[in-house]
């Protein structure tokens, strides 16, 4: 019997477009002998639709305009439904569409931060990736580092503050601890949105205001000089790490422009590293994953400095396009894209 997978895509975050491209690739690479897919799109303003069009429409960001191919549907939190409620606006009736497993290909706010995972827990639906707690802690860069530091993992130093803080006192305190440049970032965000590399008191002040536009909590960190090394981790109770990968932004830092707009950055997999160093970072990545209680998958990002590797952040639903680092690094250890999708769906259903 084939299983039905609901692939959730789009969403309300700044990474909506990346999610659509990732989801198109996930859908195209589903093992059709094992699974049937239902595409469930969420618009930027939070409306849910079943989409019956092509994956090219996702990739070209035109799916929302194809009204004839859209029908309203939501995940029911009622366990008895075990799936989607397809709504008929005209009659007010609904049809239950049973779902076996959910693949939330959603990044950032309301997708990767535990909110969607909470709904899927209520619904009693198995889903790919981390649970509610792990997703929420991993989304918050300060909480992530607090938990990991407690587990003995070296983390990039940081000062966290809420928007209720005394900004003058905050500036005073970080200027005493760190020298410029400093990084200011929202605690819960992604894609480098709202991040400033502040080179002066004025830029720090503006950076703080900008970060608070994106989140009520922020982090200020000293500039960490080093290489940006990433590791893909997969598994539930027995997680394993891929090879290390490396991002070379080839610009001031890996900002939104460098990530998605210009072509300057390089993404290397495997990263050119000494075997011993690579092994240490891979081990550290699994330690991070375990400390945060992750399951399914996550990408763990470090800075490799003269003094060793320091955790920067973790992404529990990393990019899944063919050029994304997570599938690239997994392919380096022999897990091709298609097999990776099957593996993640099996992990969601508890098969390890």
Ligand X SMILES: Nc1ncnc2c1ncn2[C@@H]1O[C@H](COP(=O)(O)OP(=O)(O)O)[C@@H](O)[C@H]1O
Query: What is the number of helices (H) and of strands (E) in the chain?
Result: 11, 16
Q: Is 118 in the site for ligand X (CB under 6 A)?
A: no
- Least distance to ligand X from the beta carbon of 43, Å? 23
Exactly one of 16, 107, 109, 185 binds ligand X (CB under 6 A); that residue is 185
Which residues are CB-neighbours of 211 under 8 A, at least 6 positions away? 184, 185, 186, 194, 195, 196, 218
Give the other-Cβ count within 10 Å of 41's Cβ: 25
Here's the x/- map for ligand X, 148-167, by CB under 6 A: it reads as --------x-----------
Here's the x/- map for ligand X, 10-49, by CB under 6 A: it reads as ----------------------------------------
Q: Which residue is nearest to ligand X (CB)?
A: 254
Exactly one of 138, 144, 191, 324 binds ligand X (CB under 6 A); that residue is 191
Here's the x/- map for ligand X, 213-252, by CB under 6 A: it reads as --------x-xx---x--------------------x---
Here's the x/- map for ligand X, 304-343, by CB under 6 A: it reads as --------xx------------------------------
Exactly one of 9, 49, 127, 254 binds ligand X (CB under 6 A); that residue is 254
- Give the relative orientation of helices 141-150 and 132-139 as an angle to the nearest 10 degrees: 110
Q: Is 190 in the site for ligand X (CB under 6 A)?
A: yes
Q: What are phi and psi of 41, to 5 degrees?
A: -100, 140
CA angle (330 as vertex; 327, 336 as ends), nearest 5: 75
How much helix, strand and coil, in percent to the nearest 5, is found in the chain? 35, 30, 40
Which DSSP string corresponds to 261-298?
ISS--EEESS----HHHHHHHHHHHHHHHHHTT--EEE
Residues at the contact surface with ligand X, assessed by CB under 6 A: 156, 183, 185, 189-192, 195, 221, 223-224, 228, 249, 253-254, 301, 312-313
């Amino acid at each position: 019997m084939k299983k039905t997978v609901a692939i959730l895509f789009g969403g309300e975050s700044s990474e909506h477009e990346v999610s659509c491209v990732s989801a198109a690739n996930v859908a195209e690479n589903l093992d059709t002998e094992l699974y049937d897919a239902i595409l469930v799109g969420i618009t930027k303003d939070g409306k849910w639709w079943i989409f019956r069009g092509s994956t090219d429409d996702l990739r070209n960001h035109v799916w929302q305009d194809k009204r004839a191919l859209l029908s309203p549907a939501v995940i029911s939190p009622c366990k008895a439904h075990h799936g989607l409620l397809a709504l008929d606006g005209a009659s007010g009736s609904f049809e239950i569409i049973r779902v076996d497993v959910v693949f939330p290909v959603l990044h950032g706010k309301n997708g990767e931060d535990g909110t969607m995972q909470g709904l899927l827990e209520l619904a009693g639906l198995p889903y790919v990736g981390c649970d509610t707690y792990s997703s929420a802690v991993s989304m918050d860069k300060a909480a992530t580092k607090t938990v990991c530091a407690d587990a003995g993992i070296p983390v990039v130093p940081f000062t966290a503050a809420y928007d209720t803080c005394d900004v003058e006192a905050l500036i005073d305190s970080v200027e005493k601890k760190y020298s410029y440049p400093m990084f200011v970032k929202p605690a819960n965000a992604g894609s480098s949105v709202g991040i400033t590399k502040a080179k002066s008191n004025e830029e720090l002040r503006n950076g703080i205001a900008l970060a608070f536009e994106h989140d009520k909590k922020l982090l200020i960190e000293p500039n960490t000089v080093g290489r940006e090394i990433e590791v893909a981790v997969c598994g539930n109770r027995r997680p394993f790490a891929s090879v290390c990968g490396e991002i070379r932004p080839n610009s001031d830092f890996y900002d939104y422009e460098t990530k998605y707009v210009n072509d300057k950055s390089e993404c290397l997999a495997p990263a050119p590293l000494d075997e011993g160093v690579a092994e240490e970072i891979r081990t550290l990545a699994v330690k991070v994953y375990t400390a945060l209680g992750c399951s399914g998958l996550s990408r763990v990002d470090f800075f490799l400095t003269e003094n060793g590797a320091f955790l920067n952040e973790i992404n529990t639903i990393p990019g899944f396009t063919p050029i994304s680092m997570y599938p690239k690094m997994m392919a380096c250890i022999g897990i091709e894209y298609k097999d990776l999708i099957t593996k993640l769906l099996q992990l969601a259903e508890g098969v390890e």
